[in-house]
Amino acid sequence: MTFDLTPEQDQLRDAVRALGRRYGHGYFVEKAKAGEHTTELWAEAGRLGYLGVNIPTEYGGGGGGITDLAIVCEELAAAGCPLLLLVVSPAIAATVLTRHGTEEQRKRHLPGLADGSQKIVFAITEPEAGSNFHRLGTVARRDGDGWLLNGRKCYISGVDEAGHVLVVARTEDAGTGKLKPALFLVPTDAAGLTRSKLDMEIVSPENQFLLYLDDVRVPADALLGESLDAGLPALFAGLNPERITVAAMGAGTGRYAIERASEYTATRKVWGGRSIGSHQGVSHPLAHAAVQVELARLMIQKAATLYDAGRDLEAGVSGNMAKYAAGEAAALAVDTAVQVLGGAGMTTEYGVATLLGAVRAGRIAPVSREMILNFVAQHVLGQEKSY
């Protein structure tokens, strides 16, 4: 393992950082408060090729890996623009399509994901099932040559911005009668698919929705992959990219908060000529948060390197650990930044308290810290499953 990025990845980092800084956190907050989306930033990032860095070149992407996409997620977040839909559309949907979609599905969807003109969001969470995906109740039944989908989904991000939603449902195995997972590419304007926006305490231009699927009829080719057997591996294919990119977004947000705070504490003077940052009660918590963010970045780099080397099982452990570490580090960094800024920390102008909701959510979604600890306890420490 090397700690050096390739020259291309270095260039990518610099270029994305420059793009992010041109928009900045002020733009992100303004869009969120106006109930608008970061359409301009998304479109420009797409035009410049940053949204498709991990998509194969034959489908219009950059042909890189999750390391590259993690760089994009981290640098935009470090500029104050943590875009959750990067995790959903290019990380989850594009990976699932690339690895398990049919050639026809790849050709139809990947070029639009790569240039940012299309978004595909991801719907697995359900009100009754929660963290227990074995309880999924959304069912797909054969209907002539197509499928009929019924169920409920909750907290689904970005449905209002997407052309399709990748719905995780269950189908009845004709042989055994058992239900097994299957993924469907459902147009967001499909008849029978309705949504209602959830009021979330997160300052974000991206929204979460309840989705209602009532006899949503989709054609046979909406089923992701060549057959029903693609369902389970396709579901797992999205997990590592999701963990790694959401972790990168957390690390970037942590960097952003620490940078804002350090600038402030180095110049703010309230006791004679010394800056408040000269007091260790102020600088040590910031330094501690910086160490936690850097530790998380190392875990992210390890997980992305393992994933891009095709070592999925090891990447699964590292990706979960990286997600846990980054979620905790981001929450600590933003909370510390708010504290050392004093009253200014709670203003919109200084742009740190605006991230409190997002980093708090990062300890719950897309997988909670407790479910990661369960995973580590079971798969790394060999403990008995408790649930």
Ligand X SMILES: Cc1cc2nc3c(=O)[nH]c(=O)nc-3n(C[C@H](O)[C@H](O)[C@H](O)COP(=O)(O)OP(=O)(O)OC[C@H]3O[C@@H](n4cnc5c(N)ncnc54)[C@H](O)[C@@H]3O)c2cc1C
Element (H, E) at 121: strand 120-123
Contact criterion met (CB below 8 Å) for 224 and 105: yes
Bridge partners (DSSP) listed for residue 168: 183
| In the complex, least distance from residue 20 CB atom to ligand X, rounded to whole angstroms | 21
CA distance linking residue 143 with residue 220, whole number of Å = 9
Q: Out of 123, 140, 149, 290, point to the residue binding ligand X (CB under 6 A).
A: 123
384 binds ligand X (CB under 6 A): no
Q: Measured between alpha carbons, how far is residue 284 from residues 76, 228, 319, 335 in Å?
A: 26, 54, 28, 14
Q: Which is nearer to ligand X, 365 or 376 (CB)?
A: 365
Contact criterion met (CB below 8 Å) for 310 and 231: no
| In the complex, least distance from residue 358 CB atom to ligand X, rounded to whole angstroms | 8
Q: Which of 215, 236, 211 is nearest to 225 (CA)?
A: 236
* Cβ atoms within 10 Å of 207's Cβ, excluding its own: 21
374 binds ligand X (CB under 6 A): yes
Q: Out of 80, 90, 151, 366, point to the residue binding ligand X (CB under 6 A).
A: 366
Q: Out of 139, 364, 376, 377, point to the residue binding ligand X (CB under 6 A).
A: 364
Give phi and psi for 126, each to the nearest 5.
-130, 150
| In the complex, least distance from residue 45 CB atom to ligand X, rounded to whole angstroms | 19
Q: Which is nearer to ligand X, 306 or 321 (CB)?
A: 321
Bridge partners (DSSP) listed for residue 157: 208
122 binds ligand X (CB under 6 A): yes
| In the complex, least distance from residue 138 CB atom to ligand X, rounded to whole angstroms | 11
CA distance linking residue 164 with residue 307, whole number of Å = 26
Q: Within 146-175, which residues bind ligand X (CB under 6 A)?
A: 155-157
Q: Out of 102, 117, 368, 378, point to the residue binding ligand X (CB under 6 A).
A: 368
Q: Which is nearer to ligand X, 103 or 201 (CB)?
A: 201
Residues binding ligand X: number (CB under 6 A): 23
| In the complex, least distance from residue 313 CB atom to ligand X, rounded to whole angstroms | 22
361 binds ligand X (CB under 6 A): yes
Q: By CB under 6 A, which span of 53-61, 123-131, 267-275, 297-305 interacts with ligand X?
A: 123-131
| In the complex, least distance from residue 226 CB atom to ligand X, rounded to whole angstroms | 24
| Residue 371: Cβ-neighbour burial (10 angstroms; 0-12, 13-18, 19+) | middle
Structure-token match 């991206």, residue found: 206
Q: Which of 209, 214, 153, 144 is nearest to 183 (CA)?
A: 153
124 binds ligand X (CB under 6 A): yes
* Residue ranges in contact with ligand X by CB under 6 A: 88, 121-125, 130-131, 155-157, 202, 208, 361, 364-368, 370-371, 374, 387
